[in-house]
Chain A
Amino acid sequence: MKDQQLQDKVVGDRMNRVDGRLKVTGAAKYSAEYELPGLVHGALVGSTIAKGRITSLDTKAAERAPGVLAVITHLNSPKVPGFAAKSNPDEPPAIGQPLRVFHDEKVYFNDQPIALVVANTLEQARYAARLVKAQYAADEHRTDFEANKQRGFLPTQAKRNPKSAQNDYDRGQKNGYQTAPVKLEAEYVHTSEMHNPMELQSIIAHWEAPDRLTVYDKVQAVKGTQRAFAKDWGLPEENVKVIATFVGGAFGNGLHNWPHETAAIIAAKKLNRPVKLVLTREQMFTMVGYRPYTWQRIGMGATKDGKLVGITHESVGQTSSYEEFTESTLQQTRMMYTSPNVSTRYRILGLDISTPIWMRGPGEATGAFALESAMDEMAHLLNLDPMEFRLRNYTDVDPDNNKPWSTKFLKECYQLGAERIGWNKRQMKPGSLRDGDWFVGYGMGVGTFGANRGTAKARAVLQADGTVVLQSATTDIGPGTGTVMVQIAADALGMPPEKIRFELGNSTFPTAPSQGGSATVNTVGSAVLEACTALKGKLQQLGGAAFASAKPEDLTLAGGQLSLASNAGTKVSLADLRKQNNGQDIDVTVEAKPGNERQKYSMYSFSVHFAEVRVHAMTGEVRVSKMVSCADAGTIVNHKTAGSQMIGGAVGGIGMALTEGAVMDHRFGRYVTKDLADYHVPVHADAPAIEVAFVDKPDFIVDPLGTKGIGEIAIIGVAPAIANAIFNATGKRIRELPITPDKLMA
């Protein structure tokens, strides 16, 4: 019986999260929640101009305030060795220079940190921060995207590298859409959106010795952060330790190191005490990234029978004056449909606002809003069902590079979703369905994101108590990374998941990339799989002749024994094998990396989202009444957590479509929407029933697990599905997000 159970695969199970109990009891520790002796508190002071320089700083009152230990500014900050002497914009990082906090008197955006007050208590620090007075010589600032969009430029990295995907692209004839019998041209816009994870950006910086730094930091990359701070402070990487055991959401804003982190490290250095710095919610809008304001224009042409002739897709995305932020806004347009002529033009626009950073479904979610809206508009012009129009332009090879897909089950997604939303209820004529005061409509949108795999290491240790501990320096911002890694290991080792622990979020663990780009399971999961195989290999060696010819998949560690799945009689206890290993833990570390599959195949995850919306005839209020999201994401390791990711993406997409948009007062370059009462993220009342369906077919070309990635495709295509449903309900085409009632009533 027991053996029978153990043979059942754990991958695919709806297993509860391994860290769930810690999360529901409040025991999970996030970065601001570590108790360190002598810990003191910081509060940041931000600039009140958007551009210029600080001419004087009066910190006396703050310094005299009760409990204040230091007020750190560019006038007294310890020098950060890695901050070069030249001024910020000289070397823009993709290309550029992350803001060097307290480096000089220059101001690049409103609410740029200009002082950090450190005090014994949080209350003292926050009070004293209000006493710091700055005077400025302000320069004229540019923060208004619309007024400046003609200033967009080709990113430096594209100028330097002709092969960069950001370069101008023409497949077939340039602007070939213009030759088509049916044409449309339309512009799409969305204002900046803030990630706004529920956990405020937080760090505790602690110099354990003059050359040894530990940070408890809200980041998505512990190794990347380790490298960045080691470089800043001229330290060997191993002298910097980064802990991010639990991360309270991030959605991309933990993929960059921000000024407040270095501010806390500087303060900890100066005071020689651990410093905790937790941003305020307002500061979450101004200094830790956002999805950039983006303008797009699409020209699309098709034959009367619904074959695409051409698509031209232009985009201008916002960046800061000191870093060149770029994203893949136009990629979906190049590869999703058969169109023989495709032209794309990508530009960025530097404004006097802090640097954006990838936000869930980065670029692609932006691009899909324009492309998938335009597809709907064209289907309407052609009097075709929008799904039928997409099917007529479905492609079985990647038209961008003529490579075959590694796998593509998008048609299956269409079918699954159409059935579940009740697509047959959709009327071709907009405004045809009404339920009392509410117009009802249906829309769809397609999403795609590269099935990326990177290189990662993982360690597997068989311990004396017969349990296995796995480690890798990845993070878990919420998807359930630890849970799926345990499931992968359970199958690989033939052990019950309760006997396996996966540890992450610590830069001393074997190296792994950031948690981003939907690549964690592909990358780290593959490393875990290989580490488990290597662990079994080592046990096999210790097991001697009886196991010598066994294949790895035939070896299992069930019941405290190494045995053969094909012949349960061949077995040896793990305790005996440990004795043979001189009583030591059996400990392996492996590196797993992709092969040359990318040269042969085009690899993507796919999703399609269906929305049913109700639009109030008198008020323009929009309610999403039902959503169905279907994904071709390869193997689904855990249907419960994967389903939650899809639901979460749909909710994020509802925010993108209907509620979220930053509003700036350009007189000051300051956001008017700067807390959760002004900037509306979706709440319970905004989230309808959301059904999720997975095709769940493995893609073993991407990685040995067959996974392709979920996090991004969960949101890419959601906003246009809702915009298209609103058109279907009302006949009103809104091309500017968020679609608020005023736009529908106009």
Chain B
Amino acid sequence: MADENPEITPSGPPAGHNEARRTFLKQSSVLTALALTPGPLVKAAEAEFDEKVAAAIEQVPLRLEINGKKYKLSVEPRTTLLDLLREQLHLTGTKKGCDYGQCGACTVHVDGQRVNSCLTLAVMQDGRKVTTIEGLADGDKLHPMQEAFLKHDGFQCGYCTPGQIMSAVACVREGHADSEGEIREFMSGNICRCGAYPNIVAAIQEVKNGGQKV
């Protein structure tokens, strides 16, 4: 099914980006080199060539499948998967809590494995399948883990919740949800400052024991 989806190329960087890049290039060594070449060529550079140079320096092509949709992207190598999702693709369900892989708020699935999306550069995931919280439900039908979090009140402020749920689904799939103690251990990478932990554990146990496909 997903293969039939057209590739999505999101709108480029915010307005003003090119202008600023051009300013940078004028001031950079790239242009110092170009300045030694005849005038018309510099003009051409200012008009167009610098953009290509800049693109080559700053942007790397990247193909990702996110929540079943294929994306053809061009990203800076230093962009994390988290910042790509939140800032460029506006998939803000994945949360930023620390940027160091210490809190788990940014947990997504990459090829089915839970990953802290703040700890991986987007370009490292070329060709992989990413699932975020936005892709977990089946249309309007919530995933059993989402239903269980609602029922057991597995959250308060809701900010860590997407990461908890993505991690919880993986925890069950990994076979690490056989007891309360095991769940606590294998969910300890996801911090909930509101302290909904016992409710989260109850939700995971219900899903695990309910035997539904996760």
- Which A residues form the contact surface with B (CB < 8 A)? 16-17, 19-30, 32-33, 35, 37-41, 64-69, 119-123, 127, 195-200, 246-251, 273, 278, 280-281, 477-480, 640-641, 643-645, 647-652, 675-677, 681-685, 687-690
Contact = CB atoms under 8 A, between A and B. Distances in A.
A649 B195 contact: yes
Contacts of A22: 158
Pairs A-B, 5 closest by C-beta atoms: A26-B93, A651-B195, A248-B159, A23-B158, A478-B156
Interface of B: 13-17, 20-21, 24, 27, 54, 58, 76, 78-79, 83, 86-87, 90-100, 102-103, 105, 132-134, 136-137, 142, 146, 149-151, 153, 155-162, 165, 180, 183-185, 187-201
A121 B192 CA distance: 29
Contacts of B151: 16
B100 A675 contact: yes
Contact of B158 (A122, A248, A689): A248
Contacts of B156: 249, 478-480, 641, 644-645, 648
Contacts of A38: 14-16
B32 to A, nearest CB: 13
B27 to A, nearest CB: 5
Given A25-B146, A68-B20, A652-B195, A684 B188 contact: yes
Contact of B153 (A17, A21, A29, A32): A17
Contact of A120 (B14, B94, B157, B198): B14
Contact of B17 (A121, A246, A648): A121
Given A26-B92, A26-B133, A684 B158 contact: no
Given A25-B93, A478-B156, A249 B102 contact: no
Main secondary structure, interface of B, reads loop
A281 B90 contact: no
Contacts of B157: 197-199, 246-250, 477-478
Contacts of B185: 684-685
A675 B102 contact: yes
A121 B87 contact: yes
A24 B146 contact: yes
A467 B79 CA distance: 45
Given A24-B142, A35-B90, A199-B97, A684 B183 contact: yes
Contacts of A280: 99
Nearest to B187: A684
Contacts of A643: 153
B159 A687 contact: no
B100 A17 contact: no
Contact of A24 (B150, B188, B190): B150
Contacts of A35: 90
Contacts of B134: 25-27
Nearest to A677: B102
Most A CB contacts (10 A, CB to CB) among B96, B159, B199 go to B159
A213 B79 CA distance: 31
Nearest to A651: B195
Contacts of A479: 156
Contacts of A641: 153, 156
B91 to A, nearest CB: 8
Contacts of A247: 157
B28 to A, nearest CB: 8
A684 B199 contact: no
A246 B158 contact: yes
Contacts of A39: 14
A278 B96 contact: yes
Contacts of B162: 24, 26
A411 to B, nearest CB: 27
26 contacts: A16-B151, A17-B150, A19-B158, A21-B142, A24-B142, A24-B158, A26-B94, A26-B132, A30-B159, A33-B92, A40-B16, A41-B87, A64-B24, A65-B24, A66-B58, A120-B16, A120-B17, A123-B79, A197-B157, A249-B156, A249-B194, A647-B198, A676-B100, A684-B184, A684-B188, A685-B188
Given A478-B194, A647-B199, A66 B150 contact: no
A67 B24 contact: yes
Nearest to B181: A685
A25 B196 CA distance: 17
A19 B156 CA distance: 10
Nearest to A19: B158
A24 B191 contact: no
Contact of B97 (A119, A120, A198, A685): A198
Contacts of B20: 66-69, 119-120
Nearest to B96: A200
Contacts of A17: 150, 153
Contact of B16 (A23, A69, A127, A246): A69
A259 B94 CA distance: 27
Nearest to B146: A24
Contacts of A681: 191, 193
A199 B187 CA distance: 19
Given A120-B16, A644-B196, A647-B196, A28 B24 contact: no
A319 B151 CA distance: 42
A27 B17 contact: no
B16 A198 contact: no
A676 B183 CA distance: 21
Contacts of A33: 86, 92
A24 B161 contact: yes
**Among A20, A197, A250, residue most surrounded by chain B Cβ atoms (within 10 Å):** A20
Contacts of B90: 35
B165 to A, nearest CB: 6
Nearest to A638: B153
B149 A24 contact: yes
Nearest to B24: A66
Given A23-B161, A39-B14, A198-B157, A684 B95 contact: no
Contacts of B136: 25
Given A123-B78, A251-B193, A675-B98, A684 B24 contact: no
A246 to B, nearest CB: 7
Contact of B99 (A24, A281, A683): A281
Contacts of B13: 120-121
B14 A684 contact: no
B37 to A, nearest CB: 22
Nearest to B16: A120
B161 to A, nearest CB: 5
Nearest to B14: A120
Nearest to B143: A24
B9 to A, nearest CB: 17
Nearest to A679: B102
B201 to A, nearest CB: 7
B123 to A, nearest CB: 13
A624 to B, nearest CB: 12
Nearest to B147: A24
A122 B16 contact: no
Contacts of A21: 142, 150
Contact of A651 (B27, B83, B161, B197): B197
B196 A197 contact: no
A689 B99 CA distance: 30
B92 A198 contact: no
A72 B150 CA distance: 44
A281 B153 contact: no
A64 B27 contact: yes
Given A123-B78, A198-B103, A247-B157, A25 B195 contact: no
Contacts of A684: 183-185, 187-188, 190, 192, 197, 200-201
Contacts of B192: 198, 684
Contacts of B86: 33
Contacts of A120: 13-14, 16-17, 20
A288 to B, nearest CB: 14
Contacts of A677: 100, 102
A25 B165 CA distance: 9
B193 A66 contact: no
A604 B196 CA distance: 26
Contacts of A67: 17, 20-21, 24
